[in-house]
Amino acid sequence: MTRSGFASEFSNKRKRTDIYAYSVIVGIVTGLIVVSYRSAISFLEERRIDFLHGAASSVPVSLAWIAIAAAVGALVYLLVRAAPYIKGSGIPQVKASLMRRIQPLWKKELPFKFAGGSLALGVGFSLGREGPSIQLGALAGEAIGELARRSEYKRYLVTAGAAAGISAAFNAPLAGVLFCVEELHKNVSPTMLTSSLIASFCANAVMWTFYGNSPVFGISLASTLPLNLYFSAILFIGVVSGALGSLFNRGLLAFQAAYKRIAPNDALRLVSAFAAVAAVSLLVPALAGGGDKIIASIGQAHMTLWPVAALLVGKMAFTLFSYASGAPGGIFLPMLAIGALIGAFSTSLFEAIGIPSVYLMNYVLIGMVGFFTAVVRAPITGAVLITEMAGSFAHFPAFILVSVIASLVSGILKTKPIYDSLLAQIAPERSTAQNSRPTILHIPVLEGSILETCARAQESLPAGCILVSVERGEEDLFPSAGLDILPGDVLHIVVEKGSAHSLKERLIALGQAHADCVECE
């Protein structure tokens, strides 16, 4: 090996070591933030339940509760006005940051997201803590990269923080990493994968310290679903989940558009939403909150067909309304609750044709996987997430099957993944004169891309782009004209910082499968 080659390899190893070391810090910090966030939400939810105990029979107390909620809504509006990117789940914002569309301001967004999300879930919005936990983790990665003056590590630390956020929120370290692969990047390098695993493990260890290592859903299964039901019961749940997932995605966008027409400014929208949610939590408490209590109640009380159907429709509609308001909060946990209700609804139908209800909780878990996959279109993450949350690998083959069916149905109905639709709503920030410095974009190459050689790549790149290296595994290769580009490679392309967001989207499209390829959806 030449001296220059040795120096380059040593430099790369040094950088990887630095990234892994910072990933440990990101994981620990994210774990502490998410544990605190979870504790704050639990505290506020308990206070709400205590306050509303018997309040429905007292008109003055009911009116006081709605007035308090409206005042909290006004406070959350002030937080949203100061930091607009704290709205909603946070996952589209993380994707936009990684695509250079926006530049997060962690000093405002991290504390404001924490406070706004805690207040929204405390009042009773049908939202979850998991999406915000991902954004909080990503912001922690952003903060650590900035404080350590390691801006070149940003994409690694932001991704590691996002993985750590899921890990700490769901007690699901592997699902956290897979979510980053399937949803945030579609393709990752070994360095990115390792840094995400490190942060995910560290955050999970922090969560265990405070909450123990029990699965989030303590669901016990009486027996394993027999193989003869795979192509009847699972097929049915997969088709229903796919159809309802498609309806959910379209409904979410429709609710957003309708609510903006009814309440055109953020202040009116949030204050009215908080008041409405307070009324719902008072009159129909089963719909309030993310849905963990619904999941727990399914196994404790045998519900008949129509009550389950009513709860399913009510939970879906209330979740769509809650998210359309723009309040800080995610849809992960409500999606799982809706999926659980799909499983319970299917059980009631199966009973009518002689399939025993002993498999109720099996169908609940399968429904969770199916609906999550139909909405998010991340089948591997869905199967692994529910496996980790339920603490049982007995149904992993069933989870994979229902994921495939639900994803196919959602695709046939031409439904875009929900986070892609929400990402499209985020307008790129305007570039400024001081953004004329060079920056490096990392563009993954997928199976079926037209970028087959470095010469072809350089010809296909938009003006202002220079291919400087090809990352293959843990190696950085010089982009000589005859070098073949393989699926899984990551191209390092230098562009002007001010145009990075628009160029990155065009470059990512080049790296994906072309229209005539079987890999293209």
List the end-to-end C-alpha distance of the chain, in Å, as a whole number.
44
pLDDT tier at 10 (50, 70, 90 boundaries)?
Answer: very low
Number of structural domains in the chain: 3
Q: Would you say residue 97 lies in a domain?
A: yes
| Predicted pLDDT of residue 258 | 94
Assess whether 382 and 453 both reside in one domain. no
User: Which DSSP symbol is given to 476?
Assistant: E
Q: Are 129 and 336 in contact (CB under 8 A)?
A: no
User: Residue ranges of the alpha helices (H) in 83-126?
Assistant: 91-98, 106-123
Rounding to the nearest 10 degrees, give the CA dihedral for residues 185, 189, 191, 195: 30
Assess whether 378 and 475 both reside in one domain. no
pLDDT tier at 519 (50, 70, 90 boundaries)?
Answer: very low
- Domain boundary (361, 394, 423) is at 423
Assess whether 246 and 165 both reside in one domain. no
Q: Would you say residue 384 lies in a domain?
A: yes
Q: Would you say residue 198 lies in a domain?
A: yes
Assess whether 255 and 176 both reside in one domain. no
Q: Who contacts 326 (Cβ-Cβ below 8 Å, separation ≥6)? A: 80, 87, 88, 266, 269, 270, 273
Assess whether 265 and 364 both reside in one domain. yes
Q: Would you say residue 216 lies in a domain?
A: no
Q: What is the sign of the dihedral through the CA atoms of 230, 236, 242 and 245?
A: negative
Assess whether 157 and 135 both reside in one domain. yes
Assess whether 264 and 385 both reside in one domain. yes
User: Could you give the CA distance from residue 258 to residue 95 in angstroms, rounded to a whole number?
Assistant: 25
Q: Would you say residue 292 lies in a domain?
A: yes
pLDDT at 180 over 80: yes
Assess whether 278 and 323 both reside in one domain. yes
Q: Who contacts 91 (Cβ-Cβ below 8 Å, separation ≥6)? A: 131, 134, 135, 183, 330, 419, 422
- Domain boundary (390, 423, 456) is at 423
Assess whether 311 and 448 both reside in one domain. no
Condensed to tens digits (0 to 9), the pLDDT of residues 186-211 reads 777 788 889 999 999 999 999 999 98
The domain of 468 spans: 433-511
Condensed to tens digits (0 to 9), the pLDDT of residues 352-368 reads 777 777 888 889 999 99
User: Residue ranges of the alpha helices (H) in 124-234?
Assistant: 130-147, 154-170, 173-179, 190-211
Q: What is the sign of the dihedral through the CA atoms of 392, 397, 400 and 403?
A: negative
Q: Would you say residue 176 lies in a domain?
A: yes
Assess whether 328 and 392 both reside in one domain. yes
- Domain boundary (403, 423, 443) is at 423
Assess whether 343 and 383 both reside in one domain. yes
Statement: the pTM of the whole predicted model exceeds 0.85: yes
Q: Would you say residue 221 lies in a domain?
A: no
pLDDT tier at 514 (50, 70, 90 boundaries)?
Answer: low
Say which range, 213-222, 261-270, 329-338, has the weakest mean pLDDT: 213-222
Condensed to tens digits (0 to 9), the pLDDT of residues 104-155 reads 999 999 999 999 999 999 999 999 998 999 999 999 999 999 998 888 888 8
- The CATH number covering residue 236 comes to 1.10.3080.10
User: Which DSSP symbol is given to 516?
Assistant: T
- The CATH number covering residue 475 comes to 3.30.70.1450
Assess whether 191 and 336 both reside in one domain. no
| Predicted pLDDT of residue 217 | 74
Q: Which two tokens stand for residue 118?
A: 């805690």
Query: Strand pairing of 475-477 and 438-444?
Result: unpaired
Q: Would you say residue 222 lies in a domain?
A: no
